[in-house]
A and B are shown apart, each in its own frame.
Chain A
Amino acid sequence: MEVRDANAAMLSNYEVYQLLTDLKEKRKEMVKNKHSTGQQNLNTIMYETLKYLSKTPCAHQNPDTVKEFLTAMLPHKLTKAEKLQLFNHRPQTAVEIQLMVEESEERLTEEQIDELIQKVTDVLPGDPQKAGDVSADPEMETDQ
């Protein structure tokens, strides 16, 4: 076995989550025909990864989210790794942004950080349960 390129592309959590859910559906249909015992490793890793990813923000994302997010991030000049981290984690506080963006004190002013948080919260869907509590406040502010 030969590894041609150990870093051909970076994948977001959402893409892996999508891939694994599709694979799970396909395997459910196949299992009706034949039960194979050699796939235990695949089952284990799929189960664990889906369990972990379902608790992250990626479980609520869809293909349009990716496009919207990348367009929204264009003016901020972030590296690919930083955009990926923001997409995977959906930071809500300035502290989290400072951790994910390198040298954020030099590259981003406080207003830009707030703008980033606002964009992230708007573009990326969060947990529907928590969003129900949070969305009440911004609506009140816009009314005033």
Chain B
Amino acid sequence: MFVLVEMVDTVRIPPWSFHRQLNEAIAEELNKKLANKVVYNVGLCVCLYDVTKLEDSFIFPGDGASHTKVHFRYVVFHPFLDEILVGKIKGCSAEGVHVSLGLFDDIIIPPESLQQPAKFDEAEQLWVWEYETDEGAHDLFMDRGEDIRFRVVDEVFIDTSPTGPSTEKEAPSAATAPPAGAEDSAPQKEAPYTLIVRILDIAIMSI
């Protein structure tokens, strides 16, 4: 579930932190920068593991802070392909079942990966697995809060860094500008890191 990632970065220590131990100040700065954030194509950063190398600190003209190049290792949440994980069902939508791990929420089971046959119950907004045994058809509801075991099938990284100003010229009137801005900002909530998983054929949901 977790991997160690080696990274190099230049850490800026402001002058008011000079009284602190350099290692502590650097650890705090790195955690402030990376903890609970997704790094593109790497994963969700959790916390600093250790600092492997500290190069010399420099002070540049115009800035009173010291800049230090740090080689460090960071604990990153990045499950490998085909890994088995256990999570809780957060909710269901037409796109599939949303599962959460507490520390990581953007896990989705697309409808094709659910046990077949499955259908979406519109009334309760839940996916239902109908399976027939010798006795008859049973409906298994994917209730919220249920534990579920799944296998990682794919991961999607989206670069959510801010894009530059749009190149289209908008009309200067105040009436059109706010609606255009609202349209751009509203659908912009894409998850930077999504896990696409499949429910396990053999294992049943209850653990």
Asked if B65 is an interface residue, CB under 8 A from chain A, the answer is no
A56 to B98, CA, bound (A): 21
The stretch from B34-42, B54-62, B168-176, B188-196 touching chain A is B34-42
The stretch from B4-12, B110-118, B125-133, B136-144 touching chain A is B4-12
Residues in A with CB closer than 8 Å to B153 are none
Q: Report A38-52 CB contacts with B as 1/0, cut-off 8 Å.
A: 110110111011011
Closest to A7 in B: B3
Distance in Å: Cβ of A80 to nearest Cβ of chain B = 10
A4-B7, A13-B2, A39-B31 are known contacts. Are A20 and B47 too (CB-CB below 8 A)?
yes
Distance in Å: Cβ of A20 to nearest Cβ of chain B = 7
Q: Which of B1-40 contact A (CB under 8 A)?
A: 1-9, 28, 31-32, 35-37, 39
A6, A48, A95, A100 interface centre (most CB from chain B within 10 Å):
A6
Residues in A with CB closer than 8 Å to B78 are 6
Asked if A143 is an interface residue, CB under 8 A from chain B, the answer is no
A-B pairs with CB below 8 Å: how many? 110
Residues in B with CB closer than 8 Å to A41 are 31-32, 35-37
Distance in Å: Cβ of A42 to nearest Cβ of chain B = 4
Distance in Å: Cβ of B22 to nearest Cβ of chain A = 16
A11 to B203, CA, bound (A): 25
Asked if B101 is an interface residue, CB under 8 A from chain A, the answer is yes
What is the interface size of chain B, counting residues whose CB is below 8 A from a CB of the partner?
39
A48-B102, A48-B103, A52-B103 are known contacts. Are A38 and B32 too (CB-CB below 8 A)?
yes
Residues in B with CB closer than 8 Å to A5 are 5-6
Asked if B151 is an interface residue, CB under 8 A from chain A, the answer is yes
Whether A99 pairs with B102 at a CB distance below 8 angstroms is no
Whether B9 pairs with A11 at a CB distance below 8 angstroms is no
Out of B3, B41, B44, B151, which one reaches A8, CB within 8 Å? Answer: B3
A19 to B82, CA, bound (A): 26
Distance in Å: Cβ of A39 to nearest Cβ of chain B = 6
Provide 8 A-B residue pairs closer than 8 Å at the C-beta atoms, listed in order of the A residue: A4-B8, A6-B78, A11-B4, A12-B2, A15-B2, A45-B35, A49-B103, A89-B84
Known: A1-B9, A41-B35. 13 other contacts (CB 8 A): A1-B7, A4-B6, A5-B5, A9-B3, A19-B49, A19-B75, A39-B35, A42-B36, A45-B35, A52-B103, A56-B86, A85-B83, A95-B203
